[in-house]
Amino acid sequence: MGAEMKITAIISGGNINFDFALSFLEKHPVDCLIGADRGIEFLKKAEMTPDYIVGDFDSAGSDALVHFREKGVEIREFKPEKDDTDTQLAVNLAIEKGSTCIYILGGTGSRLDHVLGNIQILGQAAEAGIECFLIDENNRIRVINNKVSIKKSEQYGKFVSVVAHTTEVKGLDLVGFYYPLSNYTMSCNQALGLSNEIIAEEALISVTEGALIVIESRD
């Protein structure tokens, strides 16, 4: 038998569509819920109690922090002068607790530095053999270093884009796409893999070397 799945959701402090996030969490039950810094404000508003909250809480309202402290939620508080972002701390905790799949909500928004940083975190999870997704109402982003299949009936949006996460990705295959590729070497300086579409019932993306950002998106 395979290893038991443990799914964790992290609510981060970026832009978050309340209705979308609430609906997503209702449709995707999780085993562990972590609030990262300002993400705890969403959890308080949604009347959800996380298993853990982490961060330096420089951007979270004190009311939410007090609320969860009174509820006895385990709080891991850090000084603002730290090496890791709050989302990174939350992912580290999720991995420490044995998560096999991680959803990050509130990890995108207008701060492109944070968005890029969060995509880097996806790469760390991929190296650890853990599925990790950065999700908002328009995008589902992951990093792979082997292969993934996407059923057309289950894809997140109309478009699928692939971008090299490492300097080079070798042995890239795109099967079942409008623009297929076979044993292709993609550089991190290329935009060749943007806005592809699935044309088969199931599509396959695979690499033999390197790591690849996979973005499913919708307008």
124: domain range? 5-136
CATH of the domain at 91: 3.40.50.10240
Continuous H helices in the chain: 18-27, 39-45, 62-70, 86-96, 112-127
> Residue 25: is its pLDDT beyond 70?
yes
In terms of domains, do 124 and 155 share one? no
Average confidence score pLDDT of the chain: 93
In terms of domains, do 122 and 100 share one? yes
pLDDT over 90, % of the chain: 83
pLDDT at 61: 63
> Residue 62: is its pLDDT beyond 90?
no
> Residue 1: is its pLDDT beyond 60?
no
> Which of 99, 115, 136 is at the close of a domain?
136
> How many domains does the chain contain in total?
2
> pLDDT per residue over 137-191, tens digit each?
999 999 999 999 999 999 999 999 999 999 999 999 999 999 999 999 999 999 9
Residue 163 tokens, joined = 């971008």
pTM, two decimal places: 0.93
In terms of domains, do 108 and 155 share one? no
In terms of domains, do 116 and 99 share one? yes
CATH of the domain at 193: 2.60.120.320
Backbone angles phi, psi at 180, to 5 degrees: -80, 160
In terms of domains, do 79 and 176 share one? no
Percentages helix, strand, coil for the chain (3-state, rounded to 5) are 25, 35, 40
> Which of 90, 118, 136 is at the close of a domain?
136
pLDDT at 3: 59
d(CA 68, CA 43): 10
d(CA 118, CA 11): 13
In terms of domains, do 75 and 177 share one? no
d(CA 38, CA 60): 4
Q: What is the arithmetic mean of pLDDT over 62-90?
A: 87
> Which of 136, 163, 196 is at the close of a domain?
136
SS3 at position 73: coil
